[in-house]
Amino acid sequence: MLATVYAIPDVLVFAAATLLILIGALGVITMKNPVHSALSLILALMGVAVAFLEQNADFLAAVEVIVYAGAIVVLFLFVIMFLGVDSSGHPQVEPLVGQRWLAALGVVVTVAGVITLMVNSHWVSGVMSASTGGTPMATGSDGVTQLGQSVFTTYLLAFEATAGLLIIAVVGAVLLARRERPADEELELGDLVEDDAAELDDEITEEVEQ
Partner 1 sequence: MTTIPASWFLVLAAVLFGVGAFGVLTRRSALIMFMCIELMLNAVNLTFVTFARTMSDIGGQTTVFFIMVVAAAEVTVGLGIVVAVFRRRSSTSVDELTELQG
**Looking only at residues 155 through 194 of this chain, which bind partner 1 when binding is defined by CB under 8 A?**
155, 158-159, 162, 165-166, 168-170, 172-177, 180
Angle between helix axes 34-54 and 8-30 (nearest 10 degrees) is: 160
- Backbone dihedral angles phi then psi of residue 3, each to the nearest 5 degrees: -70, -25
Report 105-164 residues binding partner 1 (CB under 8 A).
106-108, 110-111, 114-115, 118-119, 124, 126, 128, 130, 132, 134-139, 143, 146-147, 150-151, 154-155, 158-159, 162
Which residues, including other chains, have CB under 8 Å from residue 60's CB and lie 6 or more apart? 52, 147
DSSP structure class, residue 130: G
Residues that contact partner 1, how many (by CB under 8 A): 95
Count other C-beta atoms under 10 Å from residue 90's C-beta.
12
Nearest to partner 1 of 91, 190 (CB atom): 91
Query: From the CB of 53, what's the least distance to partner 1, in Å?
Result: 9
Q: Which of residues 16-35 bind partner 1 (CB under 8 A)?
A: 17-18, 21-22, 25-26, 28-29, 34
Out of 16, 62, 65, 67, point to the residue binding partner 1 (CB under 8 A): 67
Residue of 13, 16, 62, 65 interacting with partner 1 (CB under 8 A): 13
- C-alpha 124/C-alpha 116 separation (Å) is 12
- 134 or 190, CB closer to partner 1? 134
Cα separation, 65 vs 171, whole angstroms: 25
Q: At what angle do helices 34-54 and 73-83 cross, to 10 degrees?
A: 180
Quick one: 132 or 210, whose CB is closer to partner 1?
132
CA 174, 177, 178 angle in degrees (round to 5)? 80
Point out which span in 66-74, 182-190, 193-201, 202-210 binds partner 1 (CB under 8 A).
Answer: 66-74
